[in-house]
Amino acid sequence: MRAITAFGAAGEVTGSKHLLEADGARILVDCGVFQGRREEAYRKNSSFPFDPASMAAAVNSHGHLDHCGSYPLLAKKGFAGDIVSTSATRDLAALVMMDSAHIQAHDSGFLEKQQRKRPQPWRKIMAPLFDERDVNAALRHYVAVDYGRPRQLADGVALTLYDAGHILGSAMARFEIGAGGGGLAVGFTGDLGRRNMPIIRDPETLPPVDYLVCESTYGDRLHDPMETAMDDLAEAIKGTAARGGRVIIPSFAVERTQELIYFLHKLHDAGRIPSLPVYVDSPMAVSATAIFRAHPECYDAETARDFPFAGGSPFAFDSLHYVTSADESKKLNDLAMPCIIIASSGMCEGGRILHHLVHGVSDPRNTILIVGFMAGHTLGRALADKLTQVKIFGEPYSVKARVKILNSFSAHADWKEIVSWVSSLDTRRLKAVFLVHGEPAAQAHLKARLLEKGIKRVEILAEGESVELR
């Protein structure tokens, strides 16, 4: 029997988990967490709709939480095989899974304390799903394999990873099942990146496949071209510096922060922005940047050319400062001069960015730069929607700083980019494209565009639905 089943990221964009059944071998492609409403997410993340011990092997496409965050639980519940990924993905996944273990321990400890102080019947304390030891146990299953190096996962099942161009180390997976006349090739895009992203390479073309499982996050949206991101950034910084203000950038610790550092480095060297101090104020971003520094094998030709190994790191220049201690972070509030502050969390839902917003959101000289996706009901979304009043730590603040949104930053292909990438494949063998990792409207739009392009069969996978591969 040969089949694919979507156990997550079906009609939604989190919880990626796909089962590939290939002649008796069961292989799990990604094991991410569901994100969203707290109780529902917790329920969906606390167990698996399959037996982890039945899996021969797993593949981790990249180190985002919604693709790797449940591997510790998988290992805890009996998974015994290898987790194959690139070496950069293994390192980023280690950071992200460990961070998740710490957040779970912190949140549940905090609620327990509240409950002891003032018991409330409605308060639900959710025990952490895994701890540091479970993360370490999962990491011992990881086997690092570089792009383009085939690896046998089970009898008659070989895997090759291809660069997905989404974040450092991100990979598409191509499986070859069986041999000779009855052989099949199946591709999984994981999260598909974009051309011309800084630091990392463009998405590769997959060799021909019979079936393709394709993401569809932005299946009905278009981004501004990546090429304008650096110019947009320079404009925002020049304007703010001229007003004597500071540029406050909420940013995800992994990938977006390193892209910003890379662009700021280039703008600084070219003299295109005034020489302001730049503070990366996030311990997680500092750790992630160290991982970027350790993986030059993932850089594109431009990065390798502009920052040769002996010529200094893309992630270091004289006005750039990494801030780890909380004391140093607080001292930034007293700085009188214009500066640039990059801090987490990316959607302003917690972390040090909140302190910077408390001190900066009501000063008309400042700019708050939105460079990432802001989910509904987050402070980041309220700022992006240009509300004039926001609540931070429960207190009201009027928004007088300028809020500027840069749409050019995105690590996901938009619908035209997905269609163009699929069209670049040799589709003569292609029997079907299965869409995952998208909301219903995005998936319907992308499906129509792919059919228009001449793809014969495009299906949207429902959660738990198996499709047979013939």
Q: Which is nearer to Zn ion, 9 or 241 (CB)?
A: 9
- We find the least distance from the C-beta atom of residue 436 to Zn ion, in angstroms, to be 13
Segment interacting with Zn ion, rule: CB under 5 A, options 56-64, 86-94, 351-359, 362-370: 56-64
Distances in whole angstroms, Cα of residue 220 to Cα of each of 87, 406, 438: 33, 19, 10
- We find the least distance from the C-beta atom of residue 191 to Zn ion, in angstroms, to be 4
Cα atoms in the 13 Å half-sphere on the side-chain side of 290: 10
Q: Which is nearer to Zn ion, 26 or 64 (CB)?
A: 64
For 134-172, the DSSP string reads HHHHHHTTEEE--TT--EEEETTEEEEEEE-SSSTT-EE
Neighbours of 209 (CB within 10 A): 23
Q: Which is nearer to Zn ion, 165 or 250 (CB)?
A: 165
Neighbours of 405 (CB within 10 A): 17
Q: Which is nearer to Zn ion, 64 or 352 (CB)?
A: 64
- We find the least distance from the C-beta atom of residue 442 to Zn ion, in angstroms, to be 15
Task: Considering only residues 304 through 323, tell me which ones interact with Zn ion, judged by CB under 5 A.
Answer: none
Segment interacting with Zn ion, rule: CB under 5 A, options 99-107, 186-194, 246-254, 454-462: 186-194
- We find the least distance from the C-beta atom of residue 67 to Zn ion, in angstroms, to be 6
- We find the least distance from the C-beta atom of residue 300 to Zn ion, in angstroms, to be 18
* Sign of the dihedral defined by the CA atoms of residues 289, 159, 465, 164, in that order: positive
Q: Which two tokens stand for residue 464?
A: 């738990």
Task: Considering only residues 377 through 436, tell me which ones interact with Zn ion, judged by CB under 5 A.
Answer: none
- We find the least distance from the C-beta atom of residue 106 to Zn ion, in angstroms, to be 24
- Give yes or no for residue 437 binding Zn ion (CB under 5 A): no
Task: Considering only residues 118 through 137, tell me which ones interact with Zn ion, judged by CB under 5 A.
Answer: none
Q: Which is nearer to Zn ion, 252 or 299 (CB)?
A: 252
Instruction: Return the residue matching tokens 């383009």.
Output: 148
Among 443, 447, 434, 460, residue whose Cα is nearest residue 3: 434
Cis amide leading into 287 (omega within 30): no
- The footprint of Zn ion on this chain (CB under 5 A) covers a number of residues equal to 2
- The SS3 of residue 102 is helix
Q: Distance from first CA to last CA of the chain, Å, rounded?
A: 9
Segment interacting with Zn ion, rule: CB under 5 A, options 50-58, 64-72, 154-162, 354-362: 64-72
Q: Which is nearer to Zn ion, 191 or 259 (CB)?
A: 191
Segment interacting with Zn ion, rule: CB under 5 A, options 26-34, 190-198, 271-279, 299-307: 190-198
- We find the least distance from the C-beta atom of residue 8 to Zn ion, in angstroms, to be 13
Amino acid, single-letter form, for residue 372: G
For 60-88, the DSSP string reads ---S-HHHHTTHHHHHHTT--SEEEE-HH
- We find the least distance from the C-beta atom of residue 349 to Zn ion, in angstroms, to be 18
Which long-range CB contacts under 8 A does 377-380 form with residues at least 24 apart? 378/347, 378/348, 378/349, 379/347, 379/348, 379/349, 379/354, 380/250, 380/346, 380/347, 380/348, 380/349
DSSP 8-class letter at 111 = H
Among 458, 440, 453, 452, residue whose Cα is nearest residue 219: 440
Segment interacting with Zn ion, rule: CB under 5 A, options 58-66, 88-96, 157-165, 452-460: 58-66
- We find the least distance from the C-beta atom of residue 111 to Zn ion, in angstroms, to be 29
- Round to whole Å and give the CA distance between 14 and 41: 10
- Round to whole Å and give the CA distance between 77 and 60: 18
Position among 30, 99, 134, 191 found at the interface with Zn ion (CB under 5 A): 191
- We find the least distance from the C-beta atom of residue 214 to Zn ion, in angstroms, to be 14
- Round to whole Å and give the CA distance between 308 and 3: 46
Position among 2, 64, 194, 201 found at the interface with Zn ion (CB under 5 A): 64
Q: Which is nearer to Zn ion, 176 or 255 (CB)?
A: 255
Segment interacting with Zn ion, rule: CB under 5 A, options 121-129, 142-150, 183-191, 222-230: 183-191
Q: Which is nearer to Zn ion, 347 or 382 (CB)?
A: 347
Task: Considering only residues 74 through 113, tell me which ones interact with Zn ion, judged by CB under 5 A.
Answer: none
Judged by the rule CB under 5 A, the positions of this chain that interact with Zn ion are 64, 191
